[in-house]
Amino acid sequence: MGEREDQNRYEVGQISQETGVSGDYINEFQLIAWMKAGVSTYEEWIQYQRDKSNIILKYRERYPENEFINVVTEKNRANIEELDQIVDKLNEIVKNPDSANKEAVIALSDKARILVYGK
């Protein structure tokens, strides 16, 4: 987490100079990275997400504005909106795994990585 800005909120840390998004946010997609690397399967990813009720958090859920400052800025607003759409799609896939496949999930995760870090 970032440095303490005041008594109530933190600054979001690890901000990409290119995107304005926290690099730490990519951890929401870590299980997909393992699937891409062959460590786990699509079915295992779905089951893990379901067993743990481990939904992928949207950016503002991971960094609530009552706990962090400068969560959404002019620089990162468009990327965060796209990231939220990706998260909605991934969480919907967990509910209905027949609607997609491993390659589709990895493609969404790869797009999220670009939105976080830039090209």
Distance (Å, rounded) from C-alpha 70 to C-alpha 10?
A: 9
The first and second tokens of residue 98, run together, are: 């027949």
Q: Considering its fold, how many domains does the chain have in total?
A: 1
Q: Are the beta carbons of 84 and 29 closer than 8 angstroms?
A: no
pLDDT on residue 11: 93
Residue 7 has pLDDT above 80, yes or no: no
pLDDT on residue 1: 53
Q: What average pLDDT does the segment 96-100 reach? A: 94
Q: Which domain holds residue 59?
A: 10-117
Residue type (1 letter), 58? K
Q: Are the beta carbons of 117 and 26 closer than 8 angstroms?
A: yes
**Residue 52 confidence class, pLDDT cut points 50, 70, 90:** confident
**Residue 119 confidence class, pLDDT cut points 50, 70, 90:** confident
Residue 40, in any domain of the structure:
yes
Residue 57, in any domain of the structure:
yes
- Mean pLDDT rounded to a whole number for the chain: 92
Residue 69, in any domain of the structure:
yes
Residue 35, in any domain of the structure:
yes
Residue 95, in any domain of the structure:
yes
Residue 102, in any domain of the structure:
yes
